[in-house]
Amino acid sequence: MLISSHLDHRGRHRVAITGLGVMSPAGNDLATFWSRLNSGESCAKRIERFDPSELTVQIGCEVPDFDVSAYVTPKEARRLDRVSILGFAAAADALADANAHGTPIEADPSRCGIIAGVGIGGLITLEEQIGVMIEKGPNRVSPFLVPMMMTNATPALVSLQFGWTGPNIAVATACAAGTNAIGDAANLIRYGESDVAIGMGAESCMTPVAISAFGRMTALSGRTDDPSRASRPFDEGRDGFVMGEGAGALILERWDLAVARGARIYGEIVGYGRNSDSHHITAPSPGGAGAAACIELALQDAAIAANAIGHVNAHGTSTPLNDAAEAEAVTKVFGPRAVPVTSTKGITGHLIGAAGAVEAVAAVLSMAKQQVPPTANLDQVDPAFELDVVAGATRAIPSACALSNSFGFGGHNASLIVSPAQ
């Protein structure tokens, strides 16, 4: 890697990470988020946004104390689903974070791109309006339903609010969407299409139907009576994930332009891998073959060896199948217990399309601080796994690259590698 150059080993523009934003069950600012990740205390509890009494699964990880009025007007809020407001809030905070250091970004709006990972979209609104249709008839269905529920409503809102007129794309690769979005945003910069790009993810689909549907798949933890211990990635006793909601965003800038304006650079996106299992609509491929190939693609993209990775922020959903496949994939690429692995989902639950983005923020912070947060609720690593799972307490690590994985229903795999700023 030509670290002194503004171009990478393939002659592409290097990608600086200059701003971070999160709206999450673990906190709506970076300091609170980081502190909660290291506390070992899961955010899962009984769902409060609606009465879950009739549901089999009644727990989730909601974003607490989200001040909608700090980001949009009351009129705007009326025509936006919660997913879009959460997404825009994370994006706005990330941009403010980027502009807090150096000369503020002054880019041509047509050279500013938005890629947002959204697994589902405005499901809360859709369910409400289906209720209206049934109760009051078709002529009472809201004219705002379509612009509120569409998967691309989140990046559309960011574009409207920022005045950015470059590429504006929603990525819908289920639980891999957030990571795909950041990788795709990095590619906008690498290949010269944009000077500034936001890579982000947003999701808020904690509704009675969605909870029931994921529950019927047996994807959700059944520990409704013990919510704080329900999300337990890589633990022997894991029994499913806990649904979360939230958003994460990264401001990415062309390296030379970020340096020229004196930006604070958290790190660099150096590797991005994406592929498809082509195995089953929901189950991972046997032995984590697709995931392992995806990680290898990211390493090749970065032109680094596996031992250059200092820690892995795993997808680690706490489902029996995902964690087994990912454990095999990581061991296949890195060797047995060769790299520290953590999953933030023990704390945050599973943020679906936002997961990869929020976890990328966690991975960047971990890399920059050289501290890996523990995986919550890890009492006993599944004995079938040859993994070094960080648990119990935060672990100090040397300065090194970090890998963040996301895998989605549909067989979508995405891996991102970030490098310390140098």
Summarize as ranges the residues that interact with another protein (CB under 8 A). Answer: 73-75, 78-79, 139-140, 142-144, 147
Decide the pairing of beta strands 246-254 and 401-408.
unpaired
Q: Which of 391, 416, 414 is nearest to 403 (CA)?
A: 416
In contact, 365 and 30? CB cutoff 8 Å: yes
Rounded to the nearest 10 degrees, how much is the dihedral formed by the CA atoms of 158, 161, 166, 171? 10
Select 1 or 141, whichever has its Cβ closest to another protein: 141
- Kindly state the smallest distance separating residue 74's Cβ from another protein, in Å: 5
Decide the pairing of beta strands 15-23 and 59-60.
unpaired
Sign (positive or negative) of CA dihedral 99, 101, 106, 109: negative
Sheet arrangement for strand 15-23: 168-171, 112-117, 196-203, 246-254, 15-23, 267-276, 412-420, 401-408, 309-313, 340-342, 388-389
In contact, 356 and 404? CB cutoff 8 Å: yes
In contact, 60 and 206? CB cutoff 8 Å: yes
DSSP of 63-105: -TT--GGGTS-HHHHHTS-HHHHHHHHHHHHHHHHHHTSSSPP
- Kindly state the smallest distance separating residue 182's Cβ from another protein, in Å: 32
Select 143 or 163, whichever has its Cβ closest to another protein: 143
Select 139 or 278, whichever has its Cβ closest to another protein: 139
CA separation for the pair 77, 68 (Å, rounded): 8
Select 147 or 183, whichever has its Cβ closest to another protein: 147
- Kindly state the smallest distance separating residue 90's Cβ from another protein, in Å: 24
315 catalytic? Reply is yes
| Amino acid present at 141 | V
Return the beta strands (E) in 136-211 as ranges: 168-171, 196-203
Select 29 or 76, whichever has its Cβ closest to another protein: 76
Q: Which of 43, 315, 401, 412 is catalytic?
A: 315
Secondary element (H or E) of residue 402? strand 401-408
- Kindly state the smallest distance separating residue 79's Cβ from another protein, in Å: 7
Select 58 or 142, whichever has its Cβ closest to another protein: 142
End-to-end CA gap in the chain: 11
CA separation for the pair 249, 169 (Å, rounded): 14
DSSP of 37-51: HTTT----EE--SS-
- Kindly state the smallest distance separating residue 343's Cβ from another protein, in Å: 42
- Kindly state the smallest distance separating residue 72's Cβ from another protein, in Å: 11
- Kindly state the smallest distance separating residue 144's Cβ from another protein, in Å: 6
175 catalytic? Reply is yes
Q: Which of 43, 175, 294, 401 is catalytic?
A: 175
| Amino acid present at 50 | F
Select 73 or 278, whichever has its Cβ closest to another protein: 73
Select 79 or 337, whichever has its Cβ closest to another protein: 79
Q: Which of 112, 294, 311, 350 is catalytic?
A: 350
350 catalytic? Reply is yes
Q: Which residues pair with 405 in a beta bridge?
A: 415
- Kindly state the smallest distance separating residue 202's Cβ from another protein, in Å: 22
Query: Which residues does the annotation mark as catalytic?
Result: 175, 315, 350
